[in-house]
Amino acid sequence: MTLLRSLVLLVSLTSCHGFRVPMPPRPTLRSPLAAFSAASTPPEAALLSLAPLLAFAPLPAFADEGYSQLSYNFVLILYIISFPGIYSLVKRSVKSKVVRKTYEVPGPAAIGGRPTRELAGDIVGYFQAYNYKITDATDVIVFEGTQAPLTGRAAFLTFCVFFALASLALVLTIVEQANFGGNFGLGNWWYASTLVSPIAGKYYLDNAERTDQVTVKIVTEDDESISDVIVQGDDEEVERFQKALDLREKGMVYVKGIFAEK
């Protein structure tokens, strides 16, 4: 009876005075990140703890000077030695590189072979198609033709000289910075030297026209099983001749490429 009276009194007090019975708090789960951030040390304390290690850690090679002086001098010497190669490239562009190659073909007596006269006719027809003229037709056939300059090659030479002069300007500005601190010298004006690069293309166009001579000799063995075609002339012309007549160089093994036509 006493318990019943106590419950009635408690309900009446709650309804009259807005009193709520306090409920026990609901348990909450803490995320691992929050627990880690609460348990970890502040950033300032972490930096202070790493200070002794940073003080005795070795510094990188570029911390004080930015480069190794020995490497700098070595690369500079190599650049100075190799730079005249661009001059040689321009000078050799107007000259012919003469090579001599021997190609082997089946002779008249071999299976699939052709008569020597027919083979010589194909060779003469090839060179005449490229405006070569026969100047001698004894044991050795001599062809002469005029090589005209190529616009694409002139553009390539201009491109090479432009970047060579740009790299030279970069090297010179670095040398000035290293030795004079930028207080003496031309500075970025060195890059103005690239303006002369078109001279290389003009030099090629003015001097590339030349008269080339190609000699061809056909030698057939006594049993007429094999014939040798001996060609001497400009490297590019000889290579083009070999591809046009599908010849195989003597002593070389032909390996068909992946993308070669069947």
Q: Give the C-alpha separation, 103 to 250, whole Å.
A: 5
- Quick one: angle between helices 69-82 and 151-180, nearest 10? 150
Q: How many CB atoms lie within 10 A of CB 200?
A: 25
Establish if 219 belongs to a structural domain: yes
The helix (H) or strand (E) run that includes residue 127 is helix 116-129
Mean pLDDT score, 236-254:
84
Q: Which residue has tokens 């190659």?
A: 101
Token pair of 260 as six digits: 């070669």
For the chain, how far is it from start to end, CA to CA, in angstroms? 112
Closest CA to 104 of 262, 238, 231, 236: 231
Residue 67 has pLDDT above 70, yes or no: no
Same domain, 82 and 173: yes
Q: Give the C-alpha separation, 238 to 101, whole Å.
A: 8
Same domain, 203 and 111: no
What's the confidence (pLDDT) of residue 232? 93
Mean pLDDT score, 40-51:
44
Confidence of residue 259 (pLDDT cuts 50, 70, 90): low
Same domain, 161 and 193: yes
What's the confidence (pLDDT) of residue 18? 42
Torsion angle, alpha carbons of 199, 152, 206, 204, to 10: 60
Confidence of residue 136 (pLDDT cuts 50, 70, 90): confident
CB 177, CB 170: distance < 8 Å: no
Owning domain of residue 176: 69-92+150-207
Between CA 150 and CA 161, with CA 156 as vertex, the angle to 5 degrees is: 130
Report the CATH number that the domain containing residue 102 is assigned in CATH.
3.30.310.80
Confidence of residue 149 (pLDDT cuts 50, 70, 90): confident
Q: Return the minimum-mean-pLDDT range out of 34-43, 75-84, 102-111.
A: 34-43
How many percent of the chain have pLDDT more than 70?
68
Q: Give the C-alpha separation, 237 to 120, whole Å.
A: 17
Q: Give the C-alpha separation, 41 to 47, whole Å.
A: 10
What's the confidence (pLDDT) of residue 66? 55
Looking at the structure of the chain, the number of domains it has is 2
> Got the DSSP string for 55-99?
HHSPPPTTTTSSS-HHHHHHHHHHHHHHTTHHHHHHHHTTS--EE
pLDDT tens digits for range 85-114 = 888 889 888 888 889 999 988 888 888 788
Same domain, 104 and 198: no
Establish if 75 belongs to a structural domain: yes
How many percent of the chain have pLDDT more than 90?
18
